[in-house]
Structure 1
Amino acid sequence: MGTQSADTWRSPKGLLALISLLLCGLLWLNGLVGSLERPSVGDALELRQLELAALAEPALPMPWRSPLLGSDPLGQLRQRLAASAAAAETPLPDAQLTTWGLLEQLMGRPQQARQILAGLPNGVLPPLQQLSPLQRRLQCELEGRSRSQCSQPVAAAAALRRLLVITLAPAVLMLLGGLLLLRQLWLWRQGRLAPVPPLQGPELSLIDVTLVVAGGFVVLGELVTPLLLGPLLTRALGPLAADPPLQQALSVLLLYAVLMLGPLLILAALLRNRGPAPRGGWLQWHWLPLRQTVPWAVAQLLMVLPLVALTGWVLQHLWPNPAGSNPLLEMVLTNANPLALALLASTALILAPLFEETLFRGVLLPVLARHWGQGSAVVASAAFFALAHLSLGELAPLFVLGLGLGWLRLQSGRLGASALLHSLWNGLTFANLLLLAG
């Protein structure tokens, strides 16, 4: 048996798979190390949340301000802006410089304020109509009017609603998820968990799945596609240069769509002569009935939320400032173009879940399960899923999410449930970014 396996890997097909695997490892290692040079979106998210808290402060009764917003939202915002400026290699954006300068003036530091505002175009504040609601409030207070006169109740109430959704909704969802986890543990201890359905998947070998994932997805998709298609896309989208957010979003969508072609075509070619597919197809999507698929996905979403949050909390204490966030997060956070946001949402909520679940839970997990067992296959597919995102700072949370997606694929017998969970997860992240962006 060992000789047969060795001979298989020594065949031209096996050697091609080994070369693909080696290139995949090098590309992923380079991407993970390179992610340390990318800025983290965490600082930007914290700044947006502090800006919301400072703007919402007048809308809250005095007794509720400290418990919900902290003792001094404006002071915390000033400190965060100062820390961001000290850590940044490039000057802060004009909007942040404006807020920081106004805060320094309001807190009686005119010299520091002048130094900060000197970084603005011509060293002067933008016109009043170009200021954000918080900046207008600060400017109003600097003119000697009282905080109540400058409060802007409509903007403050809207900021408070967004802040409550951002902070309270995840807490409620994680509480529900924790209760569901406890229920699952109790059912497991009682031996009352539903039996796991037979795991079905493509009749592929380890060499085949290596060619699909390492060769098609990584080498063709992540290396060859950008090299060949990138310059062509730049020229084709040149007319959109006047609208960079739309140009960038359309480029992301098209690149991702083409990235999918290589591994999917390889998968189709490998399955072409495998005989008739089992009932439900090779990938076992089983979307219908939705009354079963949707509850599976929602319940697993709730259960995985506290686990990913706990992993992120531990990581934050071990590694306080992880770099390397997904660039797509920054695009959403700083994008005000509705069409561009719709294109980014299509990529994150539709294309990515369908494609990644096809690869990692539809193909990789069942094939590995036949060779290594189901538990090892779930762990390995989760590890590959996390590595594929090329973000060292997000590696551990993504691994835990991958475990949840793999467990759902086993327990439900439905790849559609895993894809729906993936889409819901990305949707929560997308909605949170939109709320923070305002």
Structure 2
Amino acid sequence: MNARGPRPPAWKTLLALLSLSLSALLWLNGLLQSLDEPTVVGALDRRQLELTALAAPAVPPSLRELLTGPDPLKTLRETLADQLEETPGPGQPDELLQLALLQSRAGEAKEASQLWRRLEQQVPPEQRALVAALERGEPLAPELRQTLEQPWLLSPLNERLVCERLSGSPGACAPGPEARQALWRLLAVSWLPGGLLLVGLGLLVRQAWIRVRGLAPAAPPLQGPPLDLVDVTLLIAGGFVLLGELSVPLLLAPAVQTLLRPLGQEPALQQGLQVLLLYLALMAAPLAILWGQLRSSPGAAPAAGWLQWRWAPLATSLRLALQQVLMLLPAVALVGWLTSQLVGDQGGSNPLLELVLTTDQPWALLCFALTAVVLAPLFEETLFRGVLLPVLGQRWGGTAAVVVSAVVFAAAHLSLNELAPLLVLGLGLGWLRLQGGRLGSCTLVHALWNGFTFTNLLLLAG
């Protein structure tokens, strides 16, 4: 396919340059603003420590040091105290309650007393009775204790801590099935990823050895849509950024909120549907532009289509995707760790992470899953590896195309804190597109990656 066609009209070039300039300003502003956005890292750390403390009674004594550490409740208490000190504002009631319980348990009566007073001023009247009872620390009958707990919707760990403080009998709060369930969840979120990291590291070493020995199969010819740089700029800068990311929230978000107003009694479901519908709306303009561009393209499409999905045989696509996910795990983890060590946590996490972590409404979670695991991989891979990478590759070569498409992919997520890990993920996806020639495999990698993250959040949330 000829990489260079006739020169586009001047108006089209000017429109592309204007779209590119506006998009660059919007993305730069979004990246800088991400530094002021809340981060989910602290919440993830706290959830994992809670899970560890909840699972500790079910861990065999011989493995306790390895799996949970010597005193997980102490670690949780110190971490929670540091987070509340560093975070502006009064703090969430469940966090204050948990810290007060842990401090009372550790004999830090003065610190706990201050938190009990803060809680009494912060919570609604129906929750103050439990706070007062906990501050006194006098044993209560189980029926009365359960009545006081009802307005709180306590987490399993907080429920156990409340029981210990108000029961007056150590045997009354023996860990039940929730401790064993927490142990399985802890193994899934802590130790299973470690095993997968080792497998991925082995695959990376094997891949490097194959490359050094010159045994790797030749990459297939890079095929893609017959578009020029102006077309791609209009598609991504004009369609995705200006019409999608900018216009959809401004123009359609109020209409979607009005449409979903009857679900006001189900705020989680309302939010889940809003995320799903707005993402579908964001996809509409760029996909319509791409459809028009391909429809007006001269010549016949290649056998596998302009985008080279090539799902079949599905077993091959899945094998390539699984291998790439495993190889990406150690690389992304290393870059993420280095970023946190060098610059710390600068905020700006994906807001969808917090929504998944704090939602227990099944239909809302389904909406979040459809958005993150199905729609986002299909849409983003279509733009970045289906269109941008091959069009750039036909002009600048495969390596430059992989790097540039990865940079654009990482910047599109508008998070400086996650920029470096997303760049590595984009490089891996681009390398797979270049070496395998299958957009379907890239989409499966992206879906598996997001699905892995989504599952971890569900396990942490319990």
Q: Do they superpose with TM above 0.5?
A: yes
2:256 is equivalent to residue 233 of structure 1: yes
For 1:396, which of 420, 432, 436 is the aligned residue? 420
- Does structure 2 retain, via aligned residues, the 8 Å contact 1:326–1:391? yes
Q: Counterpart of 1:194 in 2: which secondary structure?
A: coil
Distance 2:388 2:36 in 1: 30
The amino acid across from 2:17 in the alignment is L
Task: Tell me how far 1:8 sits from its aligned partner.
Answer: 5.0
Distance 2:10 2:260 in 1: 43
Residue matched to 1:424: 448
2:326 is equivalent to residue 305 of structure 1: no
Distance 2:456 2:111 in 1: 34
The amino acid across from 2:130 in the alignment is L
Distance 1:8 1:391 in 2: 36
- Farther-moved stretch of structure 1 (199-208 vs 123-132): 123-132
Q: Counterpart of 2:216 in 1: which secondary structure?
A: coil
For 2:130, which of 121, 125, 129 is the aligned residue? 125
- Does structure 2 retain, via aligned residues, the 8 Å contact 1:311–1:396? yes
Q: Counterpart of 2:196 in 1: which secondary structure?
A: helix
The amino acid across from 1:409 in the alignment is R
CA offset digits 1:82-108 (Å, max 9, x no partner):
122112223322221211111111111
Q: Counterpart of 1:392 in 2: which secondary structure?
A: coil
- Does structure 2 retain, via aligned residues, the 8 Å contact 1:345–1:430? yes
Residue matched to 1:198: 221
Q: TM-score, normalised by structure 2?
A: 0.91
Q: Counterpart of 1:193 in 2: which secondary structure?
A: coil
- Does structure 1 retain, via aligned residues, the 8 Å contact 2:103–2:111? yes
- Farther-moved stretch of structure 1 (184-193 vs 353-362): 184-193
Distance 2:443 2:222 in 1: 16
Q: Counterpart of 1:195 in 2: which secondary structure?
A: coil
Distance 2:314 2:348 in 1: 37
Task: Tell me how far 1:9 sits from its aligned partner.
Answer: 7.4
Task: Spell out the pairing of 1:37-436 with structure 2 (5 A cutoff).
Answer: 37-117=36-116, 118-119=118-119, 120-122=123-125, 123-125=128-130, 127-129=148-150, 130-143=153-166, 145=168, 149-274=172-297, 275-436=299-460
The amino acid across from 2:397 in the alignment is G
- Farther-moved stretch of structure 1 (216-225 vs 266-275): 266-275
Aligned length: 434
CA offset digits 1:136-175 (Å, max 9, x no partner):
3222332475656523231111111100110111111111
Distance 1:365 1:256 in 2: 23
Distance 1:420 1:147 in 2: 50
Gap regions ≥5 residues in structure 2: 132-147
Gap regions ≥5 residues in structure 1: none
The amino acid across from 1:227 in the alignment is L
- Does structure 2 retain, via aligned residues, the 8 Å contact 1:199–1:366? yes
CA offset digits 1:112-140 (Å, max 9, x no partner):
22321332334443723533221232223
Distance 2:169 2:218 in 1: 66
The amino acid across from 2:149 in the alignment is L
- Does structure 2 retain, via aligned residues, the 8 Å contact 1:369–1:376? yes
CA RMSD of aligned residues (A): 1.7
Distance 1:408 1:35 in 2: 29
The amino acid across from 1:14 in the alignment is T
Residue matched to 2:135: none
Q: Counterpart of 1:354 in 2: which secondary structure?
A: helix
The amino acid across from 1:169 in the alignment is L
Q: TM-score, normalised by structure 1?
A: 0.96
